[in-house]
Amino acid sequence: MYKILYADKLSENIYRMVVDAPMVARHCEPGQFIIAKAYEEGERIPLTICDFDREKGTVTIVFQPIGVSTIEMAKLKTGDAFEDFVGPLGRPSDLIDTPVEELKKKKIIFIAGGVGTAPVYPQVKWLHERGITADVIIGAKTKDLVIMEKEFKEVCNLYITTDDGSYQRKGMVTQCLQDLIEKEGKTYDHCVAIGPMIMMKFVVKMTKSYNIPTVVSMNPIMVDGTGMCGACRLQVGDEIKFACVDGPEFDGFLVDFDQAMKRMTMYKTEEGRALLALKE
């Protein structure tokens, strides 16, 4: 069993849990994910690691309850435990394998959308610990949905934008990126975008036009996270890849987002039925 040492809410419907998982904490790197199972018959949920502390042996996850299993998971409190907490899985971010001296020469921008803000954090923190300060755009629908502002401010140059303009800049992340480049004279050599699929699709459309190589995280299409179910099959350039074993991060210029988004809708009927059963 994996004890939840601390649980809180980052917004009305976004949950954070710090889990006692020393083996995962010892070996994980930014970009990797874990599979959590709340109880014996529960579904396996792949979640990108949001933070880790090797000394304390803890791993932090952030999630939004959207299906039956994550709704059940959100009921867990400080002191409860996960039945299973397996990892680290997937490949670490490419940044980890890039020589630090090379990274120091690059101007890096991270684009974080909604709940996807959480998995951006360990990468930005990793860079900061090596003396590299990246720019980060956090995009959320409204002020109440902006998460981890304080944590990010300590490790990066932060730009926040809300769709409705209720906090800081107004507009989507793409508008903010365009303004930074065209109105504020910023230039970038590398972009990492993590958030809803539609956001990553439009970020890539824009970064392509500016010729800024862009990495995206295909975590949203994973189901079992083990390479067995085939749900996370992806067209990446001429190749077929599996998000859970070959990713979750890929070259955004090569990902077929339309196919990936179609694939995500495949399980909607089953999920809907399961949600109805939960309510009955």
Q: In the beta sheet, which residues pair with residue 187?
A: none
**Minimum CB–partner distance for residue 30 and ligand NAD (Å):** 12
**Minimum CB–partner distance for residue 214 and ligand FES (Å):** 22
- Compute how many residues bind ligand NAD; rule: CB under 6 A: 22
244 makes contact, choosing from ligand NAD, ligand FES, none, with CB < 5 to 8 Å by partner type, with: ligand FES
Looking at residues 216 to 255 of the shown chain, list those that interact with ligand FES (rule: CB under 6 A): 222-232, 242-244
**Minimum CB–partner distance for residue 105 and ligand NAD (Å):** 27
Residues 6+ apart with CB under 8 A from 39: 72, 83
- Secondary structure of residue 193 in the 3-state scheme: strand
Burial (Cβ within 10 Å: 0-12, 13-18, ≥19) of residue 256: middle
Task: Specify the DSSP element, H or E, that contains 101.
Answer: helix 100-104
Residue 139 binds ligand NAD (CB under 6 A): yes
Binding range to ligand NAD, per CB under 6 A, among 92-100, 217-225, 226-234, 239-247 = 217-225
Query: Measured between alpha carbons, how far is 194 from 114 in angstroms, rounded to an integer?
Result: 9
Residue type, 236: V
Q: Which of 36, 127, 194, 222 binds ligand NAD (CB under 6 A)?
A: 194
Residue 121 binds ligand NAD (CB under 6 A): no
Residue 135: left if φ>0, alpha if ψ -120 to 50, beta else—which one?
beta
Binding range to ligand NAD, per CB under 6 A, among 83-91, 95-103, 124-132, 213-221 = 213-221
Percent helix, strand, coil in the chain, to 5, is 35, 30, 35
**Minimum CB–partner distance for residue 193 and ligand NAD (Å):** 8
- Residue given tokens 């993590």 in the structure block: 194
Residue 225 binds ligand NAD (CB under 6 A): no
Of the candidates 104, 123, 100, 101, the residue with the CA atom closest to the CA atom of residue 215: 123
Looking at residues 160 to 179 of the shown chain, list those that interact with ligand NAD (rule: CB under 6 A): 163, 172-174
- The answer to whether the beta carbons of residues 35 and 87 sit under 8 Å apart is yes
**Minimum CB–partner distance for residue 169 and ligand NAD (Å):** 10
Looking at residues 233 to 262 of the shown chain, list those that interact with ligand NAD (rule: CB under 6 A): none
Q: Which of 42, 57, 196, 213 binds ligand NAD (CB under 6 A)?
A: 196
Name the site residues for ligand FES (rule: CB under 6 A): 222-232, 242-244
